[in-house]
Structures are given as C-alpha cells and as structure tokens.
C-alpha cells in the first residue's frame, strides 16, 4: 500500500505531551456510585425532555428523556435505579451553569433493559441505521458534542472523504489512543457502519505519530477494509476538524461553509466506537472512556465511566490528593476549562479530567506589554495576526478585529502558549467576539426599530396618498362618465342616470362641505387668499345645490327624455367638477399649510419648554429675573404666530 500524502499544517506548537501517565494501565471500570445525575443537555442543540417521573424505577439503558428536535439526542439511564429528582443541577460548563438533570439513586444491580443489536449492519437501510444511532443518543465524543445522527444525515450532499479523527493532539488526553489500542476491531466496525451510511470514496484514520501502539493496532484491524491509517506528524492542533482535513486532503474548508458542504465528514474515534456498541450490541451511549490525569492523582489512567457519575467519585477512585490539587481541568490543558467544584456529573463530552498540582500548572505569570515579536503569528494554525487582534481587542476596535478575521480564530491557544509576555490572548479574543456579537445584536435591534419606524411612516404616507388618489378617481369617474351619459340617452339607462346623478350630487355636496371646513380652518390660520377661497366655496355650494335640484328633478320625472334633459343640465353642475377639484386641491393645500404651521409651533413649544418654565414669573427666582425677562421676550418672539392665533 502506498503511503498517503500528508499535507503540512501551518504554525502549530509542540507542548509537552504528558500522555504517558495515563497510559500505564488498561481501561478500568469504576465502582458504581450511589447516585447518578444525568444531564439532559450535554451537547449542542436543545435539551431532551424527561419521559420518566420521580419515583419510577428505570433499567440500565432505558430511555429517560427524548426530544423531538432534529439537532438533539435522547438520554438513557446509565444504570438501574429509582428516579429521585428531575430539575436543575450544576453541570460541567465553562460558566458554572445549572441545567436540567435527572437524578437516579442506583440499586446497585445494574440491570439492563432488553436490548438487541445485530452485526449485520450492511443489511440495514441507511435511514434505519441513522434512526438507531439517534435513538442510542450518540453525540460527537471529541468535544463539541454535535448529535451524530444529525451530522451523518447529509441530505443528499455527496461525501467524498470520511475522516476518522485519531489525532488527539491535546496533551494529557489518551482516550482515543487507549481505545485504539484495546478495541481497534470494534472501532473499525463502527467506521464501517458510518461508511455504509455515507458511502464515501475514501476513508482515512488520521493518527499522530506519537501513538505507535495505536497505529499498529489500527493498521492490523483495517487490513483489507479499504480504510487507510494515515500517520501524521505530532503537532498541536492537528486534531482540529478543519486542521485535520487540511492535513489529510490538502484542502481547506471555506470559512463560511459547513464542513459537510465540502464533501468531507470527520468523526471521532470514540464516536465510532459508540456507534459500534449501538448498532452491533444495541447499547445506547450511557458510558464513555475518560482520561483521568494530573500529578494530584495517585493512579491516573483511563476509566470507562457512566454518564452522570459525579466527577468527585471518579477523582476519588483515581487517588486524588486533595491537599495537592490546584486546578481541575475538563478537556486538555490547551483548550479545556477549569472547574471550581467537583460536585458535577460526568457528561457525554467529558473526555479528560486533569487534577493538576500547583507546580504542574502554576498560575499564569503577570501579563507584560506586547512587544509584537510575532511568535503568535508564527504558530497560528489559521494564519491570523494574533498580535494585531490583541491590539484591536484591547482598544475595542471591533470593526478592525472583525476585518482581521477574528471569527476564524479556533481558540486553540497556541498564540497564548508561546507568548513571551504571557498575555492571555485567547481570553481577549473571546471577549472581543462576545463584544462584536453584542454590538451586532444591538445594531440589528436598532436597525429593526428604524425599519419599523420608516415602514410606519411609509404606510401612513401611502394611506394619505391612497385617499387623495381615491378622491381624484371618484371625481374623474364623474367627469369622464358625464359626457358619455349625454350621448346615450335611453330609457334603460334611466336608473343608471339617476344613480350617477346621485353620485354627482353627493360628490359636489361633499366637496362643498370639505371646502367650507378648509375655509374655516384657513380663516382661523389667517391664510392670505381668504377672499378667493370664500368665493370658491360659495360657487361650490351653489354647484352642490344645483346638482341636488337636478337629482330631485330627475327622480320626480319618469320619462327618459325628461331624465335626459335633467341629466344634461346636471352635467353643467358636474362639469364644474374639474374646477371644483382644483379648488379642492387648493383647499387641501391650505389645510396642509395650516398643519405645518401647527407642527412647527408645537416643536417650538417643546424646544422652548425649559425656557418657558423659566419665563414663568412664579417659577423664576428673583436673581434670574433679568435673564428670565429676556428669555420671555425671546420665547414670545418665537411663539409670535401662536399669539396671533389666539
């Protein structure tokens, strides 16, 4: 077999591996704890909803919570016992949060519920396999914990490459390493299940070259399977999903794409093993292999622990020296987070617990000034300029930080690791990312409010326009139809004639009333062309009266000819309509003008409100009287029109 090419990963660091401590012994199982606290949200996505009640007896492997959501996974009882509590409990989380959990008091019998698997995965349809993976509650065990069934459900996207991530580049962690050493064949079966679902063209298992025993085991197990074990250089962070893809395929996943969109899917070794357990043995994900390491532990190693086991229990059985322990880390030392309590349950994604002494992981030295040495940029695996991002973060130049691709930062911590000034760079970036998100949310909100306001204004304007257009249309109908009626005199049209006359009469009456109103307003506002307006109103009123008379006459007469005659004379009234509409517009203009004046006045009043209170003699202190009097003058000047008005 020709050796697969390995592409170079830019940057990266070589921290002390510290893996030997936890590889001294095979995977151990832990004594059953008295109680399990099973977190219901231990992955990305929505929390599972309990489907058991307090006091209920559950078997090992029994479904205790499920969720209808696509991106979620059900939860099973890791051992048999009685449900004693369903509610919030502190969980393993970067910000010590409480999340819904189900507490089970174990009966110690560890009685399995009936379960059945089948080694004949190839005989099952892909959808069935996906359903079974989902039903087994399997999530990505590498860290982020994305529900595996959702990840494998590619909805038609062709997957060319399936990558199994056995890089395990973080120091201390050895779960994948020891799984590959001890259960290589099972892992390969799990991989074949995944391959059966995805039907990829190529399957690679990427393993760092520091895991020689695991490589040997996996190479033996994959003989004649078409699965290729690719040995990659030991370099942190080669195990990052996008980094491993680059190393194994030479391709980069476009920054704004999901990984699956580029035809690649990465699965973790532990996930492959739990898929094997679920499909072949029918066992849901109720336990996992976790590395317990650190100098504060007497017997570090890998344990197969039930989900929900209090980590206190695990650390105790690994010989925790409570005097020596200085910090406890979940995950690896590069990307893990510290815990301030051990009263937390093990979750599906907890791949490592490090109980470190003070000497092992001392508190960070005080931060010095950045000298822009550029070591951080040299080791950055995604080719950022961490030194620039740091300055932008410090000065809160969020747009520049965003422009320098801060959201491409994978927070691997390589920059902070090499920084000679001991600057906690990752922390700065997290904070800046948070600030940018907050700002974007704010902007979205204010943008939304602005749009709402603008839309409202546009709507009001539209309504106003519609009204005017409607009126105009009505007037036009009358004027257009009127001449036509003149020519089509017939008995059949009589009724229509009368109807039209009715409309004409009503319109002119309405116009007259409107014009009168406008006139009154204009008088109140002392508009300039009052006389002409008055005349117009009078003509309008006359027209309206005329139209009414015509209508009455038409209704009285029954012969078409008379009706026609009436209609003809009515026409003279309606013919005045164009003129009337002009008047109408003039009146509307006058009204608008009046409204404007009013608004301006209102504005002047609000802006002067402080001054006016000052101006109020009762409220003005004697020593400000002079100022007040001058203000009054000013206010009076600005309020001049309103005075005139009243």
Query: Which of 152, 191, 253, 278 contacts other proteins by CB under 8 A?
Result: 253
Q: What is the DSSP letter of 25?
A: S
Quote the least distance from Cβ 342 to other proteins, whole Å.
8
Widest Cα–Cα separation across the chain: 119
Least spacing, CB of residue 293 vs other proteins, in Å: 12
Pick 430 or 516: Cβ nearer other proteins: 430
Which one, 110 or 402, has the nearer CB to other proteins? Answer: 402
Backbone angles phi, psi at 362, to 5 degrees: -65, 160
Question: Using the rule CB under 8 A, which residue among 33, 171, 310, 345 binds other proteins?
Answer: 171
365 is a contact residue toward other proteins (CB under 8 A): yes
Closer CB to other proteins, 87 or 254, in the complex: 254
Q: Answer yes or no whether residue 260 interacts with other proteins by CB under 8 A.
A: no
- Applying CB under 8 A, which of residues 132, 134, 246, 313 lies at the interface with other proteins? 246
User: β-pairing, 81-90 with 202-208?
Assistant: unpaired
378-411 per-residue burial string, b: 16 or more CB within 10 A, e: under 16: ebbbbebbbbbbbbbbeeebbeebbebebeebbb
Closer of 190 and 333 to other proteins (Cβ) = 333
Among residue numbers 296 through 355, which ones bind other proteins (CB under 8 A)?
A: 322-323, 325-329, 333-342, 354
* Smallest gap from residue 297 Cβ to other proteins (A): 13
- Quote the least distance from Cβ 442 to other proteins, whole Å: 11
Q: Is 408 in the site for other proteins (CB under 8 A)?
A: yes
- Of 124, 137, 428, which Cα lies nearest the Cα of 275? 137
Tokens of 221: 């197990």
Binding mask 172-201 for other proteins (x = CB under 8 A): ------------------------------
Beta strand pairing status for 35-39 and 98-106?
antiparallel
- Pattern of binders to other proteins over 441-460, x per CB under 8 A? --x-----------------
Give me the residue label for tokens 């094997």. Answer: 276
Q: Which residues in 535-552 are b (16+ Cβ under 10 Å) and which e?
A: ebbebbbebbebbbebbe
Closest separation between CB of residue 143 and other proteins, Å?
Answer: 12
Number of residues this chain uses to bind other proteins (CB under 8 A): 74
- CA pair distance 617, 605, nearest whole angstrom: 17
Contact stretch for other proteins (CB under 8 A) within 417-425, 464-472, 612-620, 630-638: 417-425
d(CA 175, CA 164): 14
Shortest Cβ 447–other proteins spacing (Å): 11
- Distance, in Å, from the CA atom of 221 to the CA atom of 228, rounded to the nearest integer, reads 10
Q: Which residue has the tokens 């009337």?
A: 580
- Is there binding between residue 254 and other proteins (CB under 8 A)? yes
CA distance 389 to 425: 9
Question: If binding is defined by CB under 8 A, does position 92 make contact with other proteins?
Answer: no
Q: Which stretch binds other proteins (CB under 8 A): 158-166, 201-209, 399-407, 449-457?
A: 399-407
Please give the residues from 368 up to 387 whose contact with other proteins meets the rule CB under 8 A: 368-375, 377, 381-385, 387
Give the nearer residue to other proteins in terms of CB position, either 132 or 404: 404
Quote the least distance from Cβ 4 to other proteins, whole Å.
Answer: 21
57-58, strands of its sheet edge to edge:
35-39, 98-106, 81-90, 57-58
Residue placing its CB nearer to other proteins in the complex, 25 or 444:
444
- Report the residue from 263, 424, 560, 641 that binds other proteins according to the rule CB under 8 A: 424
- Give the contact letters, 549-568, x = binds to other proteins (CB under 8 A), - = no: --------------------
Q: Which is nearer to other proteins, 97 or 585 (CB)?
A: 97
Contacting residues for 394 by C-beta, under 8 A, at least 6 apart: 428
Nearer to other proteins, 51 or 377 (CB): 377
Choose between 273 and 390: whose C-beta lies nearer to other proteins: 390
Question: Which strand (E) or helix (H) includes residue 532?
Answer: helix 530-556
433 touches other proteins (CB under 8 A): no
Per CB under 8 A, contacts with other proteins among 18-57 are: none
Rg (CA), the chain: 41
Contact in structure between 271 and 148 (CB atoms under 8 Å): yes
Q: Is 143 in the site for other proteins (CB under 8 A)?
A: no
Strands 161-166 and 264-268: parallel
For every residue of 459-503, DSSP letters joined together read HHHHHHHHHHHHHHHHHHHHHHHHHHHHH---STTHHHHHHHHHH
């Amino acid at each position: 077999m020709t050796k697969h090419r390995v592409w170079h990963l830019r940057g990266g660091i070589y921290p002390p591996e510290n893996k030997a401590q936890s590889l001294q012994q095979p995977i151990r199982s832990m004594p059953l704890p008295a109680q399990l606290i099973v977190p219901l949200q231990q992955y990305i996505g929505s929390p599972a909803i309990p489907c058991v009640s307090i006091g209920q007896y559950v078997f090992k492997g029994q479904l205790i919570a499920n969720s209808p959501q696509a991106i979620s996974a059900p939860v099973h009882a890791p051992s048999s016992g009685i449900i004693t509590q369903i509610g919030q409990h502190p969980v393993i989380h970067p910000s010590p949060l409480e999340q819904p959990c189900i507490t089970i008091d174990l009966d110690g019998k560890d009685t399995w519920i009936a379960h059945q698997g089948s080694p004949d995965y190839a005989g099952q349809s892909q959808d069935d396999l996906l359903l079974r993976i989902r039903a087994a509650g399997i999530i990505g065990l590498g860290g982020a914990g994305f529900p595996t069934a959702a990840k494998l459900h590619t909805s038609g996207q062709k997957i060319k490459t399936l990558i199994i991530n056995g890089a395990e580049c973080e120091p201390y962690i050895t779960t994948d390493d020891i799984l590959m050493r001890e259960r290589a064949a099972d892992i390969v079966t799990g991989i074949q299940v995944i391959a059966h679902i995805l039907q990829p063209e190529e399957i690679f298992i990427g393993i760092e070259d520091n895991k020689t025993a695991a490589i040997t085991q996996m190479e033996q197990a994959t003989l004649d399977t078409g699965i290729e074990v690719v040995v990659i250089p030991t370099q942190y962070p080669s195990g990052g999903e996008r980094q491993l893809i680059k190393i194994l395929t030479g391709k980069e996943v476009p920054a704004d794409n999901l990984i699956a969109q580029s035809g690649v899917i990465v699965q973790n070794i532990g996930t492959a093993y739990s898929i094997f357990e679920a499909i072949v043995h029918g066992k849901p994900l109720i336990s996992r292999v976790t590395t317990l390491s650190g100098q504060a532990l007497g017997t570090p190693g890998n344990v197969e622990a039930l989900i929900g086991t209090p980590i206190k229990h695990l650390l105790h059985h690994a010989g925790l020296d409570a005097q020596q322990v200085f910090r406890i880390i979940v995950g690896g030392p590069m990307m893990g987070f510290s815990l301030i309590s051990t009263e937390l349950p093990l979750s599906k994604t907890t791949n490592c617990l490090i109980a470190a002494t003070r000497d092992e992981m001392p508190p960070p030295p005080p931060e010095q000034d950045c000298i822009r040495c550029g070591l951080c940029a040299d080791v950055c695996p995604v080719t950022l300029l961490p030194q620039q991002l740091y300055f932008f973060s410090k000065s809160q130049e969020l747009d520049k930080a965003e422009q320098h691709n801060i959201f491409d930062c994978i927070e691997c911590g390589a920059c902070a690791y090499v920084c000679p000034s001991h600057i906690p760079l990752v922390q700065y970036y997290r904070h800046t990312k948070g600030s940018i998100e907050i700002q974007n949310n704010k902007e979205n909100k204010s943008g939304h409010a602005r749009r709402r306001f603008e839309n409202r204004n546009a709507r009001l304007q539209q309504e106003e326009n519609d009204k005017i257009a409607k009126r105009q249309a009505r007037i036009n109908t009358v004027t257009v139809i009127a001449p036509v009626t003149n020519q089509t005199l017939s008995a059949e049209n009589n009724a229509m004639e009368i109807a039209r006359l009715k409309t004409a009469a009503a319109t002119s009456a309405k116009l007259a009333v409107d014009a009168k109103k406008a006139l009154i307003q204009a008088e109140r506002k002392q508009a300039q062309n009052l006389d002409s307006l008055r005349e117009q109103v009078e003509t309008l009123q006359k027209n309206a009266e005329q139209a009414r008379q015509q209508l009455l006459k038409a209704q009285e007469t029954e012969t078409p000819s008379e009706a026609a005659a009436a209609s003809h004379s009515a026409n003279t009234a309606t013919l005045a309509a164009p003129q009337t509409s002009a008047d109408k517009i003039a009146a509307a203009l006058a009204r608008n003008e009046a409204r404007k004046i009013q608004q301006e006045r209102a504005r002047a009043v609000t802006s002067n409100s402080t001054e006016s209170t000052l101006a109020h003699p009762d409220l003005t202190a004697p020593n400000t009287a002079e100022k007040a009097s001058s203000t009054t003058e000013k206010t009076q000047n600005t309020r001049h029109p309103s005075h005139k008005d009243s």
